[in-house]
Structure 1
Amino acid sequence: MQIINLIKALFSRPASDPKVVRPRVIEPTSKEMNRAMLRLDELAKPAIFGEIGGGKPQQENRAASWWGGNFLGAPGEDVPICNQSGKIMHPVLQIRVDELPEIPPAFEGFALINIWMDLQSSSFWGAENG
């Protein structure tokens, strides 16, 4: 008899459909909404757009913004090595700060910002959104 009950349990529907419990939606108060909007305004930062390409880099001016190499560095400064792979990093972008349409506070006091990547890093290619 136990085997028949087991087979019935596998193929039969329950006596009643399970209840779907939906969470109750609680709308924020106007005070909570104003506080949230003020906090978003505090955290929001304006985007700074730049343009890459459109002309050949200035071969005689390595202090200009560059895409993909020919970076300047301090005397004796070497190409960075990736901590993860131990390999030399690839130059991606050199930004000359005074060429930006707007200088973010974090960039104040800098003349150039160089961005490097390790193209052999396993975490680089597996990153979300590329």
Structure 2
Amino acid sequence: GRAGQPIVSYWLGKIGDAQIGPVYLGLTGVASLIFGFLAFEIIGLNMMASVNWSPIEFVRQLPWLALEPPPAELGFCVLCPLDQGGWWQMAGFFMTTSVLLWWVRTYRRATALGMGTHVAWAFMAAIWLMIVIGFLRPL
């Protein structure tokens, strides 16, 4: 069931929904947030390093900064060198783990609340598309 008491904000009610919470994360939700944070940090710190740690250059070049996949010369390597696509593999692993853990959380919350799991399965279709386009195709 649900736990906790919601907070009602008068000012948020002026522009939309006034209720804040309750939010239940559970173990899979917390793990998902941790893995997502790790992926975000790997991507962000590598982009900062590519502009020599300059915040001004980071903002200026942000649309062109990227974490590149391994080059074709390496073929399919499980543990590529970090500077040749290894960071991309690590960030992809952490991001995919984060999204899959969030799917587990969504599915478990739906079943715990007696709701249908159709939203979780639609989310899984989007996850599959993300994996195919963002991970399998570049390899």
- Which structure is larger by alpha-carbon Rg, 1 or 2? 1
Which structure carries more strand by proportion?
A: 1
TM-score band w.r.t. shorter chain: under 0.3
Give the TM-score of the pair, scaled to structure 1.
0.20
Q: Which has the higher contact order (CA 8 A, sep 6+)?
A: 2
